[in-house]
Amino acid sequence: MDIDVRDLVDAEQGLVNRRIFIDRAIYEQELEKIFARCWLFLGHESQIPHPGDFLSTYMGEDPVLVVRDSTGKIHAFLNICRHRGNRICRADMGNAATFICAYHGWAYANDGRLIGVPNLQEAYFGELELEQWGLIPVAQLDSYKGLLFATFDPEAPPLLAYLGEMAWYLDNFFDRREGGIEVIGGMHKWVIPCNWKFPAENFGGDPYHVGWSHLSAVQVGFTPGGATRPGAGGRLIQPGNGHGIIALAPANLADPMISTITAYEETIRPEVEQRLGPRFGKVFPIVGTLFPNFSFLRASARTFRVWHPRGPDKIEVWACIFVDKAAPPEVKEAYRLAGIHTFSPSGTLEQDDMENWQECTRTCQGVVSRRYPLNYQMGLGHEHFDDDLGAWASNSRFSELNPRRFYERWTQLMTADCWAEVPNSPVPSPAGRGLG
């Protein structure tokens, strides 16, 4: 029996019950209603460029193997053996023609077919139909500008409809130049004892914390401080479907204050402007979250990450540094170093954030604390639809418009029995009301 979370989230009034950050039953419902349904980010095509290349990841708590087969076609399968359920591939990344289970030795081709079973005749008397027992594929797999996404739900809307107006905002991060981006270096993975929604809402709509949480990083020059100045402008952009973008005013600076990088950005600006079209120059997106748990940032660092849920009070962060593929090697190296200094397990800004999300989660354990809702009322009603942006926008950069819409979407999905009951809103509704 599902929990009716409409009693817990009042997106219209900006009140959220703290139970949704700590309750095990609500978490299980999230795995079913959100993570087994939504389009989730898997990786970038540049991470598996050659036939046989693979990476292993997760969709919710389900292990997933993303592999480019020997003919070059990309697949995504549950990373579990069909025999006794052992995890087939335990390597993070690599290249393989076959995946052989470590337990009893069933072997799968890199297109998912079961091609080898030890002692087949003696054990199964020729009665095991190998073609019935291949790896289990995701329901839908698609890519947008090299970003690979999948969903376990065959009824989920097509990826482009799911992205809606967010697609243009993704271009600002991942498709600024011909060839798009590539991932450089490896992947940082670490655990934070926090609920997955705190980082997702932070990247998708919390510019408010920057001038305070990250003040020390601003003061020592790890990140430009322009956005923290009074009157600096900027706003939240709300393209619908629970996604969120934080934007600065176009004149603001967000890039690392490193001459190699600032000179590069200046050089490519005309090309980027032409590629992104007339909306470029009106708005400067710097960070965002694609609902539910894929976030990306271009302030101080170029990083994208997935907040993999690991229980109501734990996440694994999987974070990469990305660069324009066409950038010269010294620029890529400068971005790699800037990323490590700011947004990585040892990064100055990352550590500020982790501490806060951890404590916000931990206090939800208190039964009395939990009686008091969290406040998401900032800028309530102070928003407008902006035709130039194709989205709703807050009137001030200090707003919680995006978290309100994030929890509105969360509520819609958590209370719907199927995708047909979930409104698709490339342009969000003016009322901004939850289903309740």
Q: How far is the CB of 88 from ligand FES (least distance, A)?
A: 7
Give the contact letters, 183-222, x = binds to Fe ion (CB under 5 A), - = no.
----------------------------------------
Which is the catalytic residue, given 2, 7, 92, 209? 209
Site stretch for Fe ion (CB under 5 A), options 16-24, 121-129, 192-200, 348-356: 348-356
Q: 300 to 319, contacts with ligand FES by CB under 6 A?
A: none
The least distance separating ligand FES from the CB of residue 118, rounded to whole angstroms, comes to: 8
Q: Which of these is catalytic: 62, 104, 153, 386?
A: 104
Residue 391: name its binding partner from ligand FES, Fe ion, none (Cβ under 5 to 8 Å by kind).
none
Q: What does 353 bind: ligand FES, Fe ion, none (CB cut-off 5 to 8 Å by kind)? A: Fe ion
Helix or strand run (H / E) with residue 68? strand 62-68
- Residues with Cβ < 8 Å from 29, sequence gap 6 or more? 2, 3, 5, 414
Other CB atoms closer than 10 Å to residue 202's CB: what's the count?
23
Q: Calculate the alpha carbon distances from 13 to 8, 313, 375 in Å.
A: 12, 26, 9
Options 258-266, 269-277, 345-353, 408-416: segment touching Fe ion (CB under 5 A):
345-353
CA dihedral (400, 403, 408, 409) positive or negative: positive
Q: Distance (Å, rounded) from C-alpha 59 to C-alpha 127?
A: 33
Q: Using the minimum distance from each CB to ligand FES, give the nearer residue, 119 or 274.
A: 119
Q: What amino acid is encoded at 355 in this protein?
A: E
353 lies in the binding site for Fe ion (CB under 5 A): yes
Closest approach of ligand FES to the CB of residue 149, in Å: 28
In terms of DSSP bridges, do strands 98-100 and 107-109 run parallel, antiparallel, or are they unpaired? antiparallel
104 catalytically annotated: yes
Among 38, 59, 66, 81, binds ligand FES (CB under 6 A): 81
If the CB atoms of residues 159 and 287 are measured against Fe ion, the closer one turns out to be 287
Q: Which is nearer to ligand FES, 103 or 385 (CB)?
A: 103
Tokens of 286: 């710097």
What is the pairing mode between strands 53-59 and 93-95?
antiparallel
Long-range contacts made by residues 328-332, C-beta under 8 angstroms, separation at least 24? 328/264, 330/260, 331/260, 331/261, 331/264, 332/184
Per the CB < 8 A criterion, the answer to whether 194 and 354 are in contact is yes
CB of 132 to ligand FES, least distance (A): 15
Q: Can 62 be counted among the known catalytic residues?
A: no
The smaller minimum CB distance to ligand FES, of residues 97 and 102, is found at 102
Give the total of residues touching Fe ion (CB under 5 A): 1
Of ligand FES, Fe ion, none, which one does residue 433 interact with (CB within 5 to 8 Å by kind)?
none
Secondary structure class of 306 (helix, strand, coil): strand
Using CB atoms within 10 A of its CB, is residue 403 exposed (0-12), middle (13-18) or buried (19+)? Answer: buried
The region that residue 146 occupies, defined by phi over 0 for left and psi between -120 and 50 for alpha, beta otherwise, is: left
From the list ligand FES, Fe ion, none, partner contacted by residue 86 (C-beta under 5 to 8 A by kind): ligand FES
CA 405 to chain centre: 16
Q: Given the complex with Fe ion, which of 53 and 353 has the nearer CB atom?
A: 353
Site track for Fe ion across 142-181, x = CB under 5 A = ----------------------------------------
CA 231 to chain centre: 30
Sheet holding 9-10, edge to edge: 9-10, 15-16, 374-375
Q: Which residues contact 230 (CB under 8 A, 6 or more apart)?
A: none
Contact characters 93-132, ligand FES, x per CB under 6 A: --------x-xxxx--------------------------
Residue 308 designated active-site: no
**Identity of residue 220:** V
Which residues are catalytic, by number? Answer: 104, 206, 209, 214, 353
Q: State the residues that interact with ligand FES by CB under 6 A.
A: 81, 83-84, 86, 101, 103-106
Q: State the residues that interact with Fe ion by CB under 5 A.
A: 353
